[in-house]
Amino acid sequence: MVFYLKRIDNQITITLKNGRIVSIFWGSALDFNNDVYEQCFEWFKLVDEYFVTSFAHRDVQESKKVFLSRIKQDDVHLLLAKYEQNIIGRAQLIENKQEKQSHVGSLTISIHPDFQKQGLGTEMLKILEEKAGSIGILKIQFEAFEKNISARKLYEKMGYDEEGYRKNSVRLKNGSLSDSILYGKILK
């Protein structure tokens, strides 16, 4: 059970299953000044096996440049989670600007390994869905790596349906190929 402590404007404070207090808020590129991105980059590498874009072999400054460029675009809504002074979760809701698909959004979510399976992903997903509905998105769709069992359980618990497979769409570090699963949900 996750408990809301307070909701103030742009920030929600919650207590995770393990008792840690985390703040969730809408972020921007300004939240990544100084060494904040570098700290995130270190834990991104820990969950690299679940990202389409690999962080393991990238230069931190090049990665930061690409990341900041993307989140500055007006079709990206960035949600951050912070524990103490460290960002430990990030999620993005991305609007589709194609006219015939403008009712569809996509998302990404990543959480520091020390904060997984504590209810944070569920809360961040709920907030993304609320935001999506408020800006006219009727459907959310995305893909997850087949071997990311924890994330898949979360998505299915939250009402996302498997809509298809992409066979051998991901090359893993060891050179093997893995499938990804397409998920979707019509928002109510």
Q: What angle do the packed helices 36-46 and 60-71 form, to 10 degrees? A: 100
- pLDDT tens track for 130-186: 999 999 999 999 999 898 899 999 999 999 999 999 999 888 778 889 899 999 999
pLDDT: is 185 or 59 the higher one?
185
Quick: pLDDT tens for 63-121: 888 888 888 888 999 999 999 999 999 999 999 999 999 999 999 999 999 999 999 99
Tell me which CATH code domain 3-186 carries: 3.40.630.30
Round to the nearest angstrom and report the end-to-end CA distance of the chain. Answer: 23
* Helix/strand/coil (H/E/C) assignment for every residue in 157-186: HCCCEEEEEEEEEEECCCCCEEEEEEEEEE
The pTM for the full model equals: 0.88
Distance separating alpha carbons of residues 151 and 160, to the nearest angstrom: 11
